Each structure stands twice: as structure tokens, then as C-alpha cells.
Structure 1
């Protein structure tokens, strides 16, 4: 049986006893009057009559007082009756003020939370009830609720913040040294040698192709035409020689040079690929090391890198890249938080372990209790007026019937005992007054 049902049952029981007691005294009073009118006079009857008469007056007076709190007695709109419904606004305001002042006073609630040691109770509850199944049940909804607050397209503020953060973080020295470390990693993996070999292989394929000679001929012809226009005083020996050749001689010279050049390049590319100590590899390695040293230590290189990277961060390409990363991340997260996602159970278990480990620590329990008490006290202090206004509004929205029913259920049992007490006390006072009148008479 619920508490409200028990309260209603107790109030109805007390009301029946109050009515029965009133009717008993009224019956006794009428019986004594009838006995006296029939000539039966006994000294005790006068005292019984005085008790019953006063008891009826006391019971009826208290019935009137109790009923007048909630409604008009017998439906008669007498002044100062139906007090509570008539004063509903003042009552609501007073009750709300009383509750917020005495029951929701920040320091009282804070002290009570500290005394209850909420952190320890939360730990006991969590260890017993926070299973993986429980966490899995709620994690998708929580994550999906959070994701609904995340915009689909990258906000403008994110692009601006990313640009500002990257500009502040990517100093010239950091860019240079990071690039130098990448070069170190690449060299440890042999990427520099593989790159040279790949270039050599591509060049080898070019110079050994069937149409390689024809591809090079236009280039040499352009050189020959350019050589004929040179100022021979500043030209090289080959330029000087070609400037003196014409017609078939130029074609013969071109064929000779092309054949020799292609053969030499073919041999060179093969040797480069077969010999890791080839001068080309050594030359590239020496220059890469030089670049690495400058990237790591040279302020001029640092300034150049910073200027170009920072300029690039303000381009539409960089903005598009940030938006693309956001879009892909957002899509991946949407898939990851789906109910049937493979990530849900591992995430739920991880959350469960973190929560249980955190809350099992006695220091964390004390800290949690203190923080909860502080936050509750802060919230009550900040929103006390709002709580009072809300309580007042809610009580003012009640109908008169609901208000009467709520108050009757809350204090009806005690009010009915007022009637019972009034009946008994009234009867005793009546007997006492009758005895005094007899003694004085």
C-alpha cells in the first residue's frame, strides 16, 4: 500500500470515529432529555447531560472550524470560510518560501550531502549495478544525442580556429626540425636510395625505348639553331663547333651525339641501380644531408618555410582540407555510434572500467561528495528565486478540489483528531462548568 493511500485511509478512519463520537454524545443528550421529561431524575443524569451537551457543542464547533478551512460548511457562503481555496495564491507563495528557505537552504542541503557520504553510496551502487549490459544500453543514445549537436558541415569558427592554431603552432623552427626528422626517417628506411633508383629506372626506360632517338632529335635541333645565333666569343667549344656546321653535317653530328648520349645514359642508369656506392647516390646523400642540416639549424630556411606554410594556411585549399577532414570524421563518428556498431561494446566496457576504477578510489569518493555538495549549494543559491517562483506557479495552477484533496491527504488525519479532541475536551469542560455551577449554587 502506497503512502498516499495509507494517508487517505487513516484520514477516513479518523473522520468516522469523530462522527461516531459526535452522534453518540448527541444520542446521549437526547436520551437524558427524554428521561428527564418523563420524570426520571437522578443526580448523575445532570452531569451526563452536561458532558454530552458540551461535547456536541465542542464537536460541532471543531467540525465547523475544520470544514471552514477547505469549503463552505453545508454549502453556505459564510464569511471567512473556505479559507485555503480563497487564499490559494498567498498559501502557494508562503509554502514555496517555506520550502526554499527551510528545506532547500543551500548550507543545509550541502551539509546533509556531506553527512550522507554520497560518493561512497554511489560506489556501492555502481559496483553492484553498473554492468556492461547496462552501459551498452545507454551509450548509443548518449553518443547519438551528442552527435546531433555536432554540425554536419565544418563551422566557420572551426576553420578560423584551425588556421590560428596551426599558425601559432607551426613556427619556422618547428617546421624545419619536423621536416628534418622526416628526412632522417626516410633515410633510415632507404627511401632516398629507392627514389634515386626509381628515377634511374625511369630514365633507363626512356633512353632505351625505340623512339628515344626521335624524341631527342627535336631537342638537339633547337640547340643547333640556338647555337648558330650565339655570340661565338662567349660560346663553348661545342656551341662554336655546331655554329659552323650546316645541313647534313648537323644531322650526322646529331645522330652521333644522340647515340653516344643514349648509350652513356643507359650504362649510367644501370650502374646507379646496381651500385649503392655510385657517385650519384653519394652526391644525392651528401645534398640530402646538407638539406637536413639547414632544415634543422638554418634560420633563413626556417623563415622561408614559415612564410610559405602560413601563406598556404590562408588559401582555399587549406580551408577545403579542414572541411574535408571534418566531414570524414563526422561521417565516421555517425557510423561508430550506431546501435549495431562494432565500437559500442568496447567503448561501453572502457567507460565502465574507467567509471568503476575512478569511483572505487576513496579520495575520489570524498572529492566527488564535496564537488556534488558544492555544486548543489551553488545551484540552489543561484536558482532559489526561480525554484520559489516555479513552486508558486505550480500550486496556483491547482484546482480548488485538487488543493483541498492534497491538504486533506496530508493533514486530514490530524484535523479529524481535532474534532475528536474537541468533542472530548468540550464534554469535560461542560462537566466542570456544571459542577462549579452546582457548587456555587
Structure 2
């Protein structure tokens, strides 16, 4: 477009010279002379005006030229003020956000994205999670998690919770299967250690009993009595020993809740377990296995985590698209957030624009603005040439008529 504008100006100069040369022989050429002469004036004037915006014409320091480079700081400030006054105001942002259903748009994307966006989104989320887990120091993170867990456990008094749980289990008879299993376990343990019981009876029997062989009969009687006792306790819900055990459990549940000494003992035991290095090492190993497993699941596009994430995203998208109340809540939250950000940080945004433009050198800002306006600047020169020529021709015609 620069070449066309300059070529048109040169064409007008050529017409002017040729017409002036032949005008004595052909008086009618006065009209092309008037047209081309005015066209050159108009083209040159508009070339000067366009050039003066961005640089000194012909490199001459003519006053009020190179306006944009000379005034770039003021332009930067005015541009920033314009953005803040017309775009980054709470009213404008709120009005624009009010007319846009952000929640529904997000729901549509999560359900049926274009170009496989859901797959890329899911894969990207998995990669991001894996990268985060890998970048964290395992020992430091494990210690932080352990410290956080310990801090939370320190705040919780376990004794009342255990007491209430035990009371609830007794009231619902959920302790009976556990009690029956303990009785059966005692019978199995007794059966596996019969010889130990026999040796204990023999060692405590005197020499006369051992000489007569009564120690063996005594040991058998003891074992038979224990087996019979366990069987009776197991099959008889009202057995005195069973009732005694249940009574003891009820008393202990009550003590866990209301007895200060019992509660203090439980808390002391809790702190001993938490502070035990073996428990810390165990938790460190558990956390490291969890971390590695989560990394593997996150990096596996066909794994359960990816499928679960994809299903979760689809369900979320369905809810966002169909639930109008949820849409209203999310849109209201997004609108308030955008308005709040504009109110608090709008000045910082325009300050960034202003400072960026201020840092540009004169050549850069001239080239960028000239490039942004583009071909229209050269159309100004072309229009100036043609309009100037037409005005000059019109003046010449009026002059001839008068």
C-alpha cells in the first residue's frame, strides 16, 4: 500500500509535467494540470500528516512531528485510564458477567468438548497431579503429613469417643459376636497349649501326688473343667461369667466417658503410641506407598483414576448444564469474584499496561501502532491524492466559468 500511494503521487507529478509541456499547443490540458497539481498537494499533505504521527518527515525535526514517539508516556497513561474507565469497572464487568452463563458453558464443555478436550483435560489433570507428587520431597512431605495427623489426634480426646462407641455397641448387642469369638479363641488356645497346662499342674503337685500318678488325672480334670466352662459360657447367654464380663464392659464404657482417671490413662496411652518412633516409621512407609501408587494411577490413561476422573467430570458437567440453581450459585460466585478482582486489582492491570508501553522505545511503539492501523494509513494518502485532485479540478472549472 505504501508503494501504491507513492506510485499514485509520482503518477500525478508525471501527468503535471507532461500536461504543462503540451499546454501551449493544447489549452484543454489546463484541466489535467489543475487536477494533478492539486492531487500532488493533497498527497504530499497527507503523506506529511501520516508520517508526522510516527516519525520526523525526511528526518527533519519539524515542530509537532513524531507525535507518538514524543508523547508515548502520555499515550500510555491515557490508554491505561481509558481501559480502566471503560472496561475495568465493576459495573461493566458485572453487566458482562450477568449476560454470560459461565456454569452452563463449563458444563457443555465437560460433557461434549470439541476436539477431544475432555480427554486432554483429564490427561493433563493426571499429569499435573503426578508431577506435583513427584516434585515434592517424600521425606519432608511424609513428616508434614505425620505432623498434621499428630496435631489433629492431639486435639481429639479419644476416651469419650471410645466410651460412646462401646456403649452403642453394647446397646445394639453388637458386642456379642466379638465376645463369642473371644471365647472360641480361648478354647482353641487352650487346646493348642494342653501340654503347657499339664506341665504347670505337674510342677505344682507334690512328690506324693506325682508318685501315685494323680497329677495326670488332676491335669486332665483341670483341662476338662476349663473346656466345660468355656462351652457353657458360649451356649448360655445368661451364664454368670458372661454377664459379669458384660457388666465389666458397661462399667468400663461409663468410665471412659465420665471417669477422669480412666480418661487420663487413655490419653497418656494415645500420646505414647503417637510418639513411638516405630509408629512414625510405619506411617512413613504407608505414605510413600500411597504416593507411588497415586503417581502410577495418575500417569496411566486407562487406569481407574483416569476413568474415575472422567466420570466425575461428566457428572459435574451434567449437573452444571441441568441444575439451574447450581448455575445461579456458580455464576453469582464468578460474577462477584470478577467484580472483586476488578475493584481490587483493576488499577494494577492498567498500571501494567502503562508501564509496559512506557518501557517500549520510540521505534517499537511507532512500528506497533503503525502496524496495528495497517493499510488504512496508506488509504489516507491515496484518498488525499484523489480528493485533492478533484477539489483542484472543481476550483479550476469554477474559475474558468467565472
Q: TM-score, normalised by structure 1?
A: 0.73
Q: CA deviation at 1:286?
A: 1.7
Which residue number in structure 2 is paired with residue 314 of structure 1?
A: 271
Structure having the higher Rg = 1
- 2:342 paired with 1:380: yes
- 2:18 paired with 1:31: yes
Pick closer, same or farther for the CA change 1:419–1:99 going to 2, 3 Å.
same
Contact 1:172/1:302 (8 A) holds in 2: no
Pick closer, same or farther for the CA change 1:182–1:362 going to 2, 3 Å.
closer
Structure 2 unaligned blocks of 5 or more: none
**Which residue of 318, 322, 338 corresponds with 1:361?**
322
Q: TM-score, normalised by structure 2?
A: 0.79
Aligned length: 390
Contact 1:58/1:426 (8 A) holds in 2: yes
Which residue number in structure 2 is paired with residue 336 of structure 1?
A: 294
Contact 2:202/2:215 (8 A) holds in 1: no
**Which residue of 108, 113, 127 corresponds with 1:124?**
108
Alignment of 1:139-218 (within 5 A): 139-148=125-134, 152=138, 153=140, 161-163=148-150, 165-170=152-157, 172-181=159-168, 184-189=173-178, 190-201=180-191, 204-208=194-198, 211-212=199-200, 215-216=203-204
Pick closer, same or farther for the CA change 1:314–1:292 going to 2, 3 Å.
closer
Contact 2:146/2:280 (8 A) holds in 1: yes
**Which residue of 51, 62, 65 corresponds with 1:67?**
51
Which residue number in structure 1 is paired with residue 353 of structure 2?
A: 391
Pick closer, same or farther for the CA change 1:132–1:300 going to 2, 3 Å.
closer
Pick closer, same or farther for the CA change 1:102–1:149 going to 2, 3 Å.
farther
Name the SS for the 2:75 alignment partner.
helix
Pick closer, same or farther for the CA change 1:382–1:148 going to 2, 3 Å.
farther
Alignment of 1:203-352 (within 5 A): 204-208=194-198, 211-212=199-200, 215-216=203-204, 251-252=207-208, 261-276=218-233, 282-298=239-255, 302-315=259-272, 317-318=274-275, 320=277, 321=279, 324-325=282-283, 327-338=285-296, 339-340=299-300, 342-352=303-313
Q: CA deviation at 1:141?
A: 0.9
Name the SS for the 1:424 alignment partner.
helix
Q: CA deviation at 1:380?
A: 2.7
Matched residues in 2 for 1:277 and 1:428: separation?
120
Deviations 1:257-316 (A, max 9, x none): 855653431221332355446899934312221122223445776434421222234336
Structure 1 unaligned blocks of 5 or more: 1-11, 218-249
Which residue number in structure 2 is paired with residue 235 of structure 1?
A: none
Contact 1:92/1:391 (8 A) holds in 2: yes
Which residue number in structure 2 is paired with residue 237 of structure 1?
A: none
